[in-house]
């Protein structure tokens, strides 16, 4: 019965997290809507040929990324232009997609549904399909007091489910809560992280969720200039959304095009791969060089950001 409660429920997060930026007043969390969103997230009915669901590219066991896939893979094996980002802590984010082109999570799902290489479907067709389903009629009724599926209701339910995906149970979090201690290597790595990485990958979310050019050379095949693709403003050239460093063990390969398979390659990039250009971040004008020992320590710290509780949380998995 709890599944269908329409009582408003709060988002649960630790005291050291900032206040969420999502306006829950416009879409108050309710168990019935979260469960409807969860059902939709795992349902390939959202794609044209019923083969691809949101979870095809955002797998709960992989912190809702698509580990092992550099570029996203969708309908009819279509290969997209970008790496499927991990999904968690969305309530603290204002801009979505690697280029920030979506500014409201409540409309984000229109993009993958419509994308010819992702789900290849028209949202109006999705609405029609759902309105033919007895099961969905019941679920919409339980969520909205009315059995009609509409675009807005689909979008808001999908948001609700995704907003509840909170990553706050890593070893780092336990240390913050006084329930664990860093090893010496982790503590040393934490210092290196604070001195070199935290201006962009800011605690406790491990991103300030802004945009930066971290000096990746342009990929000659994809010619992806990030924010600039849409705005054409010179200051937006090569500006990409700063990803969180939580859950990196689950979300390889890395960067907007999945170009790096390992974190060692990422550190090598910050050490000797940075390409200068007018928008390069000021913190990255000089190479970040670590000794082998320092690298080990930094990687040990980054591993404390893996949230094994989140990736195995049954509430985030497909409804059985």
Name the minimum Å distance from CB 13 to ligand HEC.
17
Name the minimum Å distance from CB 6 to ligand HEC.
23
In total, the chain counts a number of residues equal to: 320
Q: Is the dihedral of CA 203, 205, 211, 213 positive or negative?
A: positive
When the beta carbons of 14 and 217 are compared against ligand HEC, the nearer one is: 217
Cβ atoms of 71 and 200 closer than 8 Å: no
When the beta carbons of 13 and 270 are compared against ligand HEC, the nearer one is: 270
When the beta carbons of 74 and 204 are compared against ligand HEC, the nearer one is: 74
When the beta carbons of 177 and 285 are compared against ligand HEC, the nearer one is: 285
Contacts of 118 (CB under 8 A, 6+ apart): 47, 52, 57, 72, 74, 75, 78, 80, 111, 112
Name the minimum Å distance from CB 145 to ligand HEC.
24
Residue where the block lists tokens 């971290």: 214
Name the minimum Å distance from CB 108 to ligand HEC.
5
Cα 42 from Cα 23, distance rounded (Å) = 25
When the beta carbons of 144 and 252 are compared against ligand HEC, the nearer one is: 252
Name the minimum Å distance from CB 157 to ligand HEC.
10
Contact residues for ligand HEC (CB under 6 A)? 41, 46, 52, 54, 56-58, 72-74, 80, 82, 84-85, 87, 96-99, 108-109, 112-113, 118-119, 158, 162, 196-197, 199-201, 212, 214, 216, 240-243, 245, 248, 251, 254-256, 263, 266, 270, 281, 283-284, 288
Cα 197 from Cα 274, distance rounded (Å) = 15
Which whole-number Å values give the CA distances from 234 to 256, 280, 295, in the listed order?
20, 12, 35
């Amino acid at each position: 019965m709890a599944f269908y409660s329409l009582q408003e429920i709060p988002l649960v997060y630790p005291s050291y997290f900032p206040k969420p930026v999502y306006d829950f007043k416009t879409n108050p969390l309710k168990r019935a809507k979260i469960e409807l969103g969860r059902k939709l997230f795992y349902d390939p009915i959202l794609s044209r040929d019923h083969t691809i669901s949101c979870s095809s590219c955002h797998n709960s066991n992989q912190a809702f990324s698509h580990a092992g896939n550099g570029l996203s893979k969708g309908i009819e094996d279509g290969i997209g232009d970008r790496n499927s980002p991990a999904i968690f802590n969305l309530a603290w984010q204002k801009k979505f997609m690697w280029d920030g082109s979506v500014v409201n999570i409540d409309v984000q799902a229109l993009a993958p549904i419509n994308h010819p290489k992702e789900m290849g479907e028209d949202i109006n067709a999705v609405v029609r399909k759902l309105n033919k389903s007895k099961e969905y009629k019941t679920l919409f009724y339980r969520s909205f007091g009315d059995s009609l599926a509409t675009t807005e209701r689909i979008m808001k339910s999908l948001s609700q489910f995704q907003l509840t995906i909170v990553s706050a149970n890593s070893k780092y979090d336990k240390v913050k809560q006084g329930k664990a201690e860093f090893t010496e290597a982790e503590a040393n790595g934490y210092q290196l992280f604070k001195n070199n990485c935290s201006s962009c990958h800011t605690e406790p979310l491990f991103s300030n969720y802004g945009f930066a050019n971290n000096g990746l050379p342009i990929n000659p095949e994809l010619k992806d200039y990030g924010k600039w693709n849409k705005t054409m403003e010179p200051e937006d050239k090569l500006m990409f959304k700063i990803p969180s460093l939580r859950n990196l063990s689950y979300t390889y390969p890395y960067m907007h095009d999945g170009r790096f398979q390992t974190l060692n390659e990422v550190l090598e990039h910050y050490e000797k791969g940075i390409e200068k250009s007018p928008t390069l971040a000021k913190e990255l004008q000089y190479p970040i060089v670590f000794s082998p020992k320092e690298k080990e320590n930094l990687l040990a710290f980054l591993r404390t950001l893996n949230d094994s509780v989140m990736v195995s949380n049954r509430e985030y998995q497909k409804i059985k």
